Amino acid sequence: MDKKPVITIIGLGYVGLPLAHAFAKKGYTVHGFDINEGRIKELSGGHDSTNELEDSQLAEVTMNFSTDASVIKECDIVILAIPTPVDENKKPDLTPIRKASETVGKNMKKGAIIVYESTVYPGTTEEICGPILEEHSGLTCGKDFTLGYSPERINPGDKEHTVTKIMKIVAGQDSKTTDILCKVYGDIITAGIHRAANIKTAEMAKAIENAQRDLNIAYVNEVAMLCHKIGIDSSKVLDAAGTKWNFLKFNPGLVGGHCIGVDPYYLVEKAEQLGMDTHVISAGRKVNDGMAQLVVDEVLEAIGNKGKVLVMGLTFKEDVPDTRNSQSYAVIKALQNAGCDVLADDPQSDDDNVPRGTLSDGPYNAIVLLVKHQEYMNLATEDVISATKEEGLIYDIKHILDKEKVISAGRKYLSL
């Protein structure tokens, strides 16, 4: 391609929007498509509720936001940034990516390159998405259009490791397609391009990135549980171990969100398709999936299975508004089922599907600090103590508060 290709980004969430912005900033004609009318309306109005882009960043470039899929017909490269969740049985749910592929197939032009950025198990792009595109376009994959895969690596809420500053894995179904995609992505990625051997290799690389992190967190979660049994402080143990140069520093906690808590199941699914058991990957998921119940059990043991509880933190990680797959909701539901009166606070989320409350609505039998928001980091330990009843519990999962102050004030203190 001698001139800059016209690009459509399908899906304008925390991945698609920054990517669209990066291309637009480099002078590409960019169409942003999303089926969520509310999302298109807010972006057209110059605001991003995910907080990945500031209003000033949206204003500095020209992008066409639309719910009209016909914009795809104008584009040389179509990039799909579609969520890939799991269902209630922890099985990969490819419905969103299938439906998005149907939409693209019905509107794509001959000669287009269709690129997937979603985390999937190896084979999904070529064996599932490609045939869907063929069916709905009437075109032949590899002849009339080609496929690419370049997995997203964005860390939500991270203002340092933004899309252009993270090395990009790029693969196409043939050398020419890979060349084009490496050049196009190379225009916006300052951290460099890694040219993967093929699409399946790139798909596998992305899946194991998050599974590795899941396993590392599962390990320190299990260490924390053992430390509890022994009666020592896991944070002190990890601080001591962390003085060795090659010790990997991870912290215990709840694992949720749309990546780490989900992507390992895509590897498990692929292994099952091939008749293989995944012992290590599955074990890590089992540990992390059980952490919410561990927290609940310890809270109930401390307060006698009843009382008023404030859960602080609804989002799946600190300083983001995203609540998808957040384990905070599992904690809340289990406490409610046990008979507790549960209120929830979160400065980043306006979710009113759970009863809301603040420290001022105390005193509480237990306060459970689950997410390390900056607003909570700025809290005075005394304020949390004052909102807790005498001999009540403060469960400080992320070690935010002053433990000695909590104990000396006559409150119980727990953490992971």
Over 90: is that where the pLDDT of 159 sits? no
CATH 3.40.50.720 residue spans of the chain? 7-199, 214-414
pLDDT of res. 187 = 97
Find tokens 């690596």 and name the residue. 153
CA–CA distance, 392 with 288 (Å, rounded to integer): 27
* Pairing, β 146-149 against β 308-312: unpaired
Give how far the C-alpha of residue 241 lies from the chain's centroid of Cα atoms, to the nearest Å. 28
Question: CB burial class (10 A; 0-12, 13-18, 19+) of residue 140?
Answer: exposed
CA–CA distance, 309 with 36 (Å, rounded to integer): 35
List the structure tokens of 357.
């409350």
pLDDT, averaged across the chain: 95
Asked if the 7-199 domain carries CATH number 3.40.50.2000, the reply is no
pLDDT of res. 251 = 92
User: For this structure, is 182 an active site residue?
Assistant: no
Share of the chain above pLDDT 70, in %: 100
Q: Which long-range contacts (CB under 8 A, 24 or more apart) does 50-57 make?
A: 50/13, 50/14, 50/17, 50/156, 50/320, 50/321, 50/322, 51/157, 51/320, 51/321, 52/14, 52/17, 52/18, 52/154, 52/156, 52/157, 53/17, 53/18, 53/21, 57/21
Q: Are 398 and 368 in contact (CB under 8 A)?
A: no
- H or E element at residue 64: strand 64-66
pLDDT of res. 167 = 96
- H or E element at residue 175: helix 175-188
pLDDT of res. 1 = 53
Instruction: Give the tens place of pLDDT for each residue, 90-116.
Output: 999 999 999 999 999 999 999 999 999
Query: What CATH topology corresponds to 214-414?
Result: Rossmann fold (3.40.50)
* Closest of 140, 187, 228 to residue 22, by C-alpha: 187
Q: Are 311 and 276 in contact (CB under 8 A)?
A: no
Q: List, as one string, the DSSP characters of 279-333.
A: HHHHHHHHHHHTHHHHHHHHHHHHHTS-SEEEEE--SSSTT----TT-THHHHHH
What's the whole-number mean pLDDT along residues 22-47? 96
pLDDT of res. 160 = 86
CA–CA distance, 164 with 192 (Å, rounded to integer): 9
CA–CA distance, 388 with 411 (Å, rounded to integer): 8
CA–CA distance, 115 with 17 (Å, rounded to integer): 15
pLDDT of res. 57 = 95
Contacts of 144 (CB under 8 A, 6+ apart): 110, 111, 137
pLDDT of res. 79 = 98
* Confidence band of 174 (pLDDT split at 50, 70, 90): very high
pLDDT of res. 24 = 97
Between 50 and 203, whose confidence is greater? 203
CA–CA distance, 209 with 203 (Å, rounded to integer): 10
* Confidence band of 155 (pLDDT split at 50, 70, 90): confident
CA–CA distance, 289 with 374 (Å, rounded to integer): 25
Please identify which of the residues 129, 182, 227, 259 carries the catalytic annotation.
Answer: 259
Over 70: is that where the pLDDT of 13 sits? yes
pLDDT of res. 232 = 93
Instruction: Give the tens place of pLDDT for each residue, 226-251.
Output: 998 999 999 999 999 999 999 999 99
* Confidence band of 157 (pLDDT split at 50, 70, 90): confident
CA–CA distance, 358 with 154 (Å, rounded to integer): 32
List the structure tokens of 142.
């590899």
pLDDT of res. 2 = 65
